[in-house]
Each structure stands twice: as C-alpha cells, then as structure tokens.
C-alpha cells in the first residue's frame, strides 16, 4: 500500500477501504506518512467527502491510535455528553448533578477552553480547592459511590486526533463534516462512553452557521455511533447568542448554581433539561425522553440536583460554602458597563464576539499555553428580544485590567444589534437527530 495511491483514490472520489484508512492513520502516527501527504488526504476528504462507513473507519482508526478509558468497573450504562462548542455553555455543571441524582452514572472527562469557547475544567477550577486531577481509581470509586465525578482528560486518548487537528488547523481543512465528526466521536469513544448525547450548536457562535449544516454534522456523528455500537442522539440547539447571561469561569459557576436552585436564565434551564432527558433515557433510567424530563424537573425543583452538586464539591475538595456565599469565588476588581447607543430591541448578540471579548479580558485562552483569569467575564443584562433605552446597560464587564476592559467593551458593543422592531422569538432546541431520523421543531 502507498499513501500516494490512497490520496489519488480519494482525490478522484473513490471510497477508501478500512485498511487504507488505518494505513494512513497508523503511518501518520509512526511518521511513515509525512505531514504533507496527510494534508493532501485532508484536502481530498474536504472536497470529496467520506461515506458513513469510511467516517466510522476513520473514527475507529483514530481511537486505536491511543489508549481507551476502561469504565467497565462502573456499574450502569455510561452516557457522555458533548457540546460542539459554545459561549456561556455551563450545561455540564447543571446536567451532571441532575442526571446523577436521577440515578445515571456520570463519569465525565472534560476539557479546558480554547479560543472563544470555555471549558468545564476551567469553570470548576474557579471553585477554591476543587480537584480536577483525579486518579483513575478515585474517579471510578467516586462514580460508583455518588454517581458523579468530573475530571480533566488523562491518558493518551486519540493522539491521532490531536496531530490531525493541528494539521487541519493550518491547512484550511477544519470545517469538513467527516473530519469534524470523526474527531469528536473518536474522543468520546476513547473516553469510554457506552452512549452519547450531542449538543450540536448552530448560529453565529458555532462552527455550523445554519441548521442544515448542523443537521448534516449531527447525522454524520449519529451514523458513526450506530456503526460502532454506541447509541448516539443529537440535539440541534441555538448558539446565535450566548447561553444564559454570563460568560467567564467564576461567573458561570454562579449562574449554574442559580439554575440548580430553580432560578437563573430560562434558556439554560431548558437546555439542561433537554440534554439531561436524553442522557437519562439512554442510560436506561426512563422509558422516554418525556418521562425523563418529568423526573429531572422534579429533581431540579426539589433541590436534589443542588444537593448532588454539593456532594460533588465535597468529594473533590471544592469549597461548598460557595453555594451560599459566592464572594468566596474569585472576583474581578472592577466592573465596566456597556450601554445602549439607541432605543429599540436587541435583535442579535453575536456569540462569537462575546466569546472573543471574554477571552480579551482573560477568561479564555488565546493559545493553549495562555494563563487565564478565573474572575473576569461578562454579564449580559439584555438578551435577544428585550427592549432597551439609550444609555441603559446592555452588559457588565468584570475586569482586572482596564486596557483589556476598554478593548473588550467595544467588542461587546459591536456584538449587539439594536433595531426598532422586536424580533421573532427563536427556538432554543431546533431539532433532534437519532438513528431513526431527523425531526426539526
Ligand atoms: N471540535 C473537535 O473536537 N474536532 C473538530 O474537528 C472540530 C471541533
């Protein structure tokens, strides 16, 4: 077998065999297939696409490039959740405790944020004492005992994805559906999931700008799941504005706690209930998503979700006093108000710009080695559909560096569109993709 012939085959639109795909990935990891040939493969896939069989083979070749987490000692069906990247997305902090309180094991390995999107591990690390570096034994024992553990990714999971992603990043081949789908699914499968709930975002803050694109990506991932024996369900959800009202690590923890108290923004509550329902259902703790939702609403409203979060904090060294006294969390020195320049209605808030502004303040990483500031961030006083008058605060910036604050304030202002007419309400959950088909709401 020669990489040259495989590139030629893909370039001319042929379907690659599983052996050819494995040859490429193994060769790429050993160095036998150099970057320039792999870049040509990625570009050929970008233009020619892949069948669902090829995409599943690529996924498993990537999984086989590294270790797999063995969660078999955790009793029950382990359902993982993945979001394709959002701004203000603190759902794991809410969904994890809710689903665990419903009896489904939550063995969550989360990542750090990069670019304009945040990461669950960074958010949790804003809680004084919270330990995200659990060893394998502690992690497994904790999930068996209290149904939930959240740790940082350990082990050499899907190393071919890291290498290939870096290559795609510099060869303009990131936004290829089979390459994104195999990249996401390989990491979930390597992390030991029995079943997977995906939150595929669409809108200004997402990779997939339209619902059609998001559905295509979701279908590709659901098909991989079916082909490799991991039941997968995808929700298509709106990321045309940030989720909830806060962006920034400690600020998002506060909002997640409010949500667990049955308060907080309605979009956050709704998304958590939807994602959680499918997780509970796939874990076999309910017969339908509707029944699972009823269970979760009760758990949220009777405080069991908050109690589970407290238990999570206590078990991982986090200071659970934050639940009653948020002043224990890192706090920024100063706030800057961003005010409306006109009367009208907020018709759009470009999520990506808000994410970039939060990153400018220090809440996110420009490069993977950047040091982040857990205290800083943005609180959105106004969201899409709300009325504003000139001079009213649209958002508050929590800053530690005034120069960065000035730059971020302009970006936040640019992110808002204010028009005379109230926009139509946009749905939060736009569709559902399962192995049975696609439903658009
Ligand atoms: N997120 C991933 O994990 N992989 C991609 O290819 C794109 C987004």
Q: What is the pLDDT of residues 299-327, one digit of tens each?
A: 999 999 999 999 999 999 999 999 999 99
CA of residue 101 to ligand 1 center, whole Å: 30
Confidence of residue 370 (pLDDT cuts 50, 70, 90): confident
- Please give the pLDDT value at position 338: 98
Asked if 183 is an active-site residue, the reply is yes
Ligand 1 atom closest to the Cα of residue 165 is 6
Task: Please choose, from the candidates 427, 246, 267, 242, the residue with its C-alpha nearest in 3D space to the C-alpha of residue 353.
Answer: 242
- Please give the pLDDT value at position 426: 86
Ligand 1 atom closest to the Cα of residue 180 is 6
Query: 183 in ligand 1 pocket by Cβ < 6 Å?
Result: yes
Average pLDDT value for the chain: 95
**Atom 8 in ligand 1: which residue has the minimum CA distance?**
180
Range with lowest mean pLDDT among 20-34, 41-55, 84-98, 383-397: 84-98
Q: Where are the alpha helices (DSSP H) in 49-135?
A: 52-63, 91-101, 120-125
48-76: average pLDDT = 96
Go through 205-217 and write b for each residue having 16 or more CB atoms within 10 A of its CB, e for each that does not.
bbbbeebebbbbb
Task: Please choose, from the candidates 49, 28, 78, the residue with its C-alpha nearest in 3D space to the C-alpha of residue 189.
Answer: 78
- Please give the pLDDT value at position 373: 95
pLDDT of residue 367 exceeding 90, the answer is no
Ligand 1 atom closest to the Cα of residue 187 is 3
pLDDT of residue 114 exceeding 80, the answer is no
- Give the distance from CA 196 to its chain's centroid: 13
7-17: average pLDDT = 98
* pTM: predicted TM-score of the whole model, two decimal places: 0.94
- Please give the pLDDT value at position 112: 78
Q: Which of 65, 83, 182, 183 is catalytic?
A: 183
CA of residue 433 to ligand 1 center, whole Å: 19
Query: 42 in ligand 1 pocket by Cβ < 6 Å?
Result: no
pLDDT of residue 170 exceeding 80, the answer is yes
Give me the sheet containing 387-388, strands edge to edge. 387-388, 344-349, 416-419
- Please give the pLDDT value at position 286: 95
CA of residue 15 to ligand 1 center, whole Å: 23
pLDDT of residue 212 exceeding 90, the answer is yes
Higher pLDDT, 204 or 96: 96
pLDDT of residue 218 exceeding 90, the answer is yes
pLDDT of residue 115 exceeding 90, the answer is no
Query: 200 in ligand 1 pocket by Cβ < 6 Å?
Result: no
**Atom 7 in ligand 1: which residue has the minimum CA distance?**
180
pLDDT of residue 91 exceeding 80, the answer is yes
- Please give the pLDDT value at position 117: 73
Asked if 161 is an active-site residue, the reply is yes
Q: How far apart are CA 399 and CA 65, in angstroms?
A: 42
Confidence of residue 20 (pLDDT cuts 50, 70, 90): very high
Mutation pick for ligand 1 pocket among 113, 164, 184 (CB with most ligand atoms within 8 Å): 184
Please, which contacts does 433-439 make with residues 24 or more away whose CB atoms are closer than 8 Å?
A: 433/200, 433/215, 433/218, 433/219, 433/222, 433/233, 433/234, 433/235, 433/236, 434/222, 434/233, 434/234, 435/222, 435/223, 435/225, 435/226, 435/231, 435/232, 438/215, 438/218, 438/219
- Count CB-CB contacts under 10 A for residue 419: 12
Query: 184 in ligand 1 pocket by Cβ < 6 Å?
Result: yes
pLDDT of residue 118 exceeding 80, the answer is no
Asked if 373 is an active-site residue, the reply is no
Q: Residue 155: left if φ>0, alpha if ψ -120 to 50, beta else—which one?
A: left
Query: 91 in ligand 1 pocket by Cβ < 6 Å?
Result: no
pLDDT of residue 131 exceeding 90, the answer is yes
- Count CB-CB contacts under 10 A for residue 435: 13
Asked if 82 is an active-site residue, the reply is yes
201-226: average pLDDT = 92
**Atom 2 in ligand 1: which residue has the minimum CA distance?**
184
Asked if 12 is an active-site residue, the reply is no
């Amino acid at each position: 077998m020669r990489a040259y012939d495989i590139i030629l085959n893909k370039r001319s639109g042929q379907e690659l065999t599983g052996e050819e795909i494995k040859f490429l990935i193994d060769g790429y990891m050993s160095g036998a297939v150099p970057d320039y040939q792999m870049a040509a493969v990625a570009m050929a896939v970008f233009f020619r696409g892949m069948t669902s069989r090829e995409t599943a083979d690529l996924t498993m070749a990537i999984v086989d490039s590294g270790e797999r987490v063995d969660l078999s000692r955790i009793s029950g069906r382990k359902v993982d959740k993945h979001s394709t990247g959002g701004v203000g997305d603190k759902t794991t902090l809410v969904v994890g405790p809710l689903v665990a309180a419903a009896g489904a094991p939550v063995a969550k390995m989360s990542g750090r944020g990069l670019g304009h999107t945040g990461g669950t591990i960074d958010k949790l690390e804003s809680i004084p004492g919270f330990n995200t570096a659990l060893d394998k034994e502690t992690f497994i024992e904790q999930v068996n005992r209290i149904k939930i553990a959240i740790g940082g990714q350990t082990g050499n999971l899907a190393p071919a994805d890291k290498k290939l992603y870096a290559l795609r990043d510099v060869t303009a081949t990131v936004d290829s559906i089979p390459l994104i789908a195999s990249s996401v699914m390989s990491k979930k499968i390597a992390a030991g999931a029995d079943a997977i709930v995906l939150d595929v975002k669409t809108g200004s803050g997402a990779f997939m700008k339209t619902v059609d694109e998001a559905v295509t990506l979701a279908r590709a991932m659901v098909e991989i799941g079916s082909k490799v024996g991991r039941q997968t369900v995808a929700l298509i959800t709106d990321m045309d504005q940030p989720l909830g009202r806060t962006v920034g690590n400690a600020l998002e923890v506060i909002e997640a706690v409010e949500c667990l108290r049955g308060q907080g923004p309605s979009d956050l509550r709704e998304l958590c209930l939807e994602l959680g329902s499918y997780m509970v259902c796939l874990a076999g703790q309910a017969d339908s998503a509707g029944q699972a939702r009823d269970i979760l609403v009760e758990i949220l409203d009777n405080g069991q979700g908050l109690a589970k979060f407290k238990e999570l904090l206590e078990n991982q060294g986090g200071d659970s006093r934050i639940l009653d006294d948020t002043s224990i969390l890192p706090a920024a020195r100063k706030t800057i108000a961003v005010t409306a320049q006109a009367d009208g209605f907020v018709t759009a808030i470009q999520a990506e710009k808000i994410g970039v502004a939060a990153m400018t303040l220090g809440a996110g990483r420009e490069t993977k080695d950047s040091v982040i500031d857990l205290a800083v961030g943005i609180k959105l006083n106004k969201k899409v559909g709300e009325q504003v008058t000139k001079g009213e605060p649209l958002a508050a910036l929590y800053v530690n560096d005034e120069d960065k604050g000035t730059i971020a304030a302009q970006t936040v202002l640019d992110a808002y569109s204010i028009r005379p007419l109230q926009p139509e309400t946009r749905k939060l959950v736009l569709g559902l993709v399962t192995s049975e088909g696609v439903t658009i709401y």
